[in-house]
Chain A
Amino acid sequence: MKELQPILQMTGIQKQFPGVKALSGVDFRLFPGEVHALMGENGAGKSTLIKVLTGVYTADQGSVEMEGHAIAVHSPQEAQRAGISTVYQEVNLCPNLSVAENIYIGNEPCRLGRIRWKEMNRNAERLLQERLHLQIDVTQPLESYSVAVQQLIAIARALSISAKVLILDEPTSSLDQSEVRQLFDIMRKLKQDGLAILFVTHFLDQVYEVSDRITILRGGEFVGEYLAADLPRIELVSKMIGKELVMLEKLETLSNESDSNDKKDDVVMLEAEGLGRQGAIEPFDLRIHQGEILGLAGLLGSGRTEMARLFFGADRPDKGSLRLAGSGAGSIHTPRQAIDQGIAFCSENRKTEGIIDDLTVRENIVLALQASKGWFRRIPRKRQEEIAEEYISLLNINPRDSEQLIRHLSGGNQQKVLLARWLLTEPKLLILDEPTRGIDIGAKAEIQKLVLSLAQKGMSVIFISSELEEVLRVSHRIAVLRDRRKVKEMTGTEMNQQLVMQAIAGGDKG
């Protein structure tokens, strides 16, 4: 069956954004009756490729062929007309409309301009039952159903406009085990019906459970296309993460030095017991010692960020407890409380949760410190400028102008400004979520060096990164996460690429 012509063929796709090459020469093909997983870490170009395919972006170069004919899609509507439908992670339907309407709106059965509700509801019921084995009241508003059912309804909408290619963009990330199983049953059935399914997920187990073929992207480039059965897990992970041969010898020595300090008997800074949040991360135990760098390793979506957000009070845990050393520490329910307890958190979403666009570098740096000082103890303007200058030269922020608006800075420099913001509060525990993402090698090395020196001065650091080498390089201890669970803690000699990668990949199936 795989000897057939591919239904969809993308060749040499190239897409450039100002300053970033998002895709360069990417090939992708999809056969009827298969589930094809598109894999890659953050910034690999998955979402750009999908957006090119669905007409949200237009490729700078390359061709897209559907059933042997070149097509040019310029909008989601055109993509739908060509037979390509997408179901997004955030269900893109209207929560206020009924189930039946969500399936048919835009193509409602009409007579003389009057919508035939009965016919529409009947059709919807039949479609859901026959193709998705779903028996629900289609007159209820969409929002009265779980996300899992909403996702199935989105698939039903795609089927109703007779899609030939179905793109499932991280459909499982907000589903529980049994819902995932139900979705997979349906995917297998649709596959048998001859539909071509492009499946994007971060869960490795799921990839192997349902996919026939895997295409891997890394850094906007095509790594390869493999049959799922022929690609061992460990190899998949290593191809996704890649091996970056950077010259960072100095760091190695630094790291080794600090390794010699045994952290085991040190003061426990933070202790989590059975901490968890439904739909975010399974309950886990974790300790962080003073002056220790704890690396969190795992793929995107493995629960790294969710864990960090619980420590900072950005999300509320619904299970377990969190204890802080020293003070008869009150509970941490809000970021404000966390900051007062000496915790700092650099979010991975620099654009939305980090920088304040309209403010200057200086204002962005002093914001957290000023917030903890309150309204009336304003840091005098002169002192603000001194602080800004100090950190600009300490962290080598470019341009060296504290009155520049932060949005005009490059990603790496924005990241350094955020680091400065938190260092200024002199935290006891610094949580860095992807601090080096999207920034150049030089800045990366500087940040890593800084982290090491902070730990030597007694600060505890939680270091999260998708780049395994980086985590290995800076961490004293590594906690590995997979599929929203903490699966392993590793120290000393265990901490090598091979073993950590095995833990990330999980199972002995690889």
Chain B
Amino acid sequence: MLKRQYIPLWVTIGLFLLIFIVGSFRYTGFFSMQVLLNLLIDNAFLLIAAVGMTFVIVSGGIDLSVGSMIALTTMVSASLLQQGWPPMIVILLVLIIGVLFGTAMGAIIHYFNIQPFIVTLAGMFLARGLCYVISINTITIDNAFYTSVAQTKIKLPGGSFISISVLIALAVVAMGIYLAHYTKFGRNTYAVGGSEPSSMLMGLPVARTKMMVFGFSGFCSALAGIVFTFYMLSGYGLHANGMELDVIAAVVIGGTLLTGGVGYVVGTFFGVLIQGVIQTIISFEGTLSSWWTRIVIGVLLLLFILLQRLLGERRLTGRSSG
């Protein structure tokens, strides 16, 4: 029996497969391992940020600061590397900045009871503004470690390859799934998203959970920023501009309820892949232009929100007659 709460998830997976199959029949050279792996290579940073966003949205919040946080990470990394800091220290430092930044936003949201939307909006302005405080120009990275990570291709049997970033992204997805389903932190996140007052009355650590959720999202954004730095090999204040929207869209298309309480990291994984495969199709099509991606994603967003609404309504009527 198909459990109702899994319907959006199955729709997402089905949709991805459908698009991929259609693409395979339509375009020569589409059906290959490498095309599939390229989806991961090109969207590794999106995937990492989306895992963090999944937790935030499941907890009933939203985080608009992820794109800016990625930019800030590229900027801090690039400028510190330029000054000759060792790569490992830089990576550690930006991760700590990410966690602190996110936790601080979570604390403001919880303790002052301000909507997450507006607090993370301020965070978004702040992070992007700080980029320009460092420099308004692009800083290129020529650090040996960064360039070697960027260029390393891990060969897979069959002649295809992936990048190190993909490994990081997959590790984050695995960690996200584990956290969400096998730890108290994860379950508390779902509880808070399901009903915050109830969670309070059940004696769950609501404040800590909310701060940790935003802290985790900050961590993911910073990690996504590191991967993005590998990808671009530069720091720039305009990097990842508007990416928070792509991330939110990926999470929603992945079946996570924007009202909180229901969502799956696996779904987010496929949500990101759907975005990637749409881009790939559009590039294979040739005659279609890149902006179709946004339109298609907008339409998908609408469809998934309507689907959620429909399921939500059934849930409500089911309850009142009980």
Contact = CB atoms under 8 A, between A and B. Distances in A.
Interface in A86-106: 86, 88, 92-97, 101, 105-106
> Chain B contact residues (Cβ within 8 angstroms of A): what range?
20 to 34
> Chain A contact residues (Cβ within 8 angstroms of B): what range?
20 to 34
Contacts of A150: 322
A157 B318 contact: no
B183 A97 contact: no
Contacts of B202: 92-94, 105-106, 157
Interface string B168-201: 0000000000000111100110110111011111
Contacts, number: 80
Contacts of B319: 95, 143, 147
7 contacts: A92-B198, A105-B191, A105-B204, A110-B184, A115-B181, A117-B182, A145-B322
Interface in B245-282: 261-262
Given A76-B200, A105-B204, A148-B322, 10 more contacts: A80-B203, A92-B195, A92-B198, A94-B261, A95-B261, A97-B190, A105-B191, A117-B182, A140-B3, A144-B4
A206 B47 CA distance: 56
B309 to A, nearest CB: 16
Contacts of A101: 187, 191
Interface string A106-118: 1010100111010
B294 interface: no
Nearest to B186: A115
Contact of A115 (B5, B187, B201, B320): B187
A74 to B, nearest CB: 13
A114 B322 contact: no
B28 interface: no
A77 interface: yes
Interface in A138-173: 140-141, 143-148, 150, 157
B315 A143 contact: yes
Main secondary structure of the interface of B (DSSP, over half): helix
Interface of A: 76-77, 80, 86, 88, 92-97, 101, 105-106, 108, 110, 113-115, 117, 140-141, 143-148, 150, 157, 174, 278-279
A442 to B, nearest CB: 38
Nearest to B203: A77
Given A97-B191, A143-B315, A146-B322, A92 B201 contact: yes
Contacts of A110: 184
B321 interface: yes
B322 A115 contact: no
B198 A94 contact: yes
Contact of A105 (B188, B193, B315): B188
Contacts of B320: 279
Contacts of A108: 184, 187
A76 B201 contact: yes
A141 B261 CA distance: 11
Contact of A94 (B5, B194, B322): B194
A303 to B, nearest CB: 17
A114 B182 contact: yes
A115 B262 contact: no
Contacts of B262: 96
B265 to A, nearest CB: 16
Contacts of B261: 94-96
Given A94-B191, A96-B262, A143-B318, A76 B203 contact: yes
A130 B316 CA distance: 31
Contacts of A94: 190-191, 194-195, 198-199, 202, 261
Given A146-B322, A279-B320, A93 B198 contact: yes
B191 A141 contact: no
Contacts of A80: 203
A257 B117 CA distance: 62
Nearest to A86: B201
A96 B60 CA distance: 12
Given A76-B203, A97-B190, A141-B5, A115 B184 contact: yes
A114 B184 CA distance: 8
Contacts of B194: 94-97
Interface in B190-232: 190-191, 193-195, 197-204
Contacts of A117: 182
Interface string B2-18: 01110000000000000
A118 B74 CA distance: 44
Contact of B187 (A105, A143, A147): A105
A501 to B, nearest CB: 33
A220 to B, nearest CB: 24
Interface string B79-95: 00000000000000000
A279 B322 CA distance: 9
A106 B204 contact: yes
A101 B195 CA distance: 14
Contacts of A145: 322
Nearest to B178: A114
Contacts of B197: 92
B224 to A, nearest CB: 25
